[in-house]
Amino acid sequence: MFPGLSEEFAASRGEIALVFSISAFVFYSLGAIAGPLADRWSSRAVIAAGLVAMIAGYVGAS
């Protein structure tokens, strides 16, 4: 996996590992926030809010 990503993005193995580490940190950190929110409100509402945030991020990135 690393050689393909390294070649595609002209990045070192360390840089690629850093990106994956940051994404894992964000994923688990947001899970700690989403869990109590799902307990307070319905899971459906929390998932819908996450989908709206993802769509906004994709639109902003494009």
Supply the pLDDT for residue 1.
77
Helix (H, G, I), strand (E, B) or coil at 60: helix
Supply the pLDDT for residue 2.
77
Transcribe 13-58 into DSSP letters: HHHHHHHHHHHHHHHHHHHHHHHHHHHHS-HHHHHHHHHHHHHHHH
Write out pLDDT tens, residues 27-41: 899 888 888 988 999
Is there a contact between 35 and 29 (Cβ–Cβ < 8 Å)?
A: no
All structural domains of the chain with their residue ranges: 2-61
The residue ranges of the chain whose pLDDT is under 50 are none
Supply the pLDDT for residue 57.
93
Supply the pLDDT for residue 28.
92
pTM for this predicted structure: 0.62
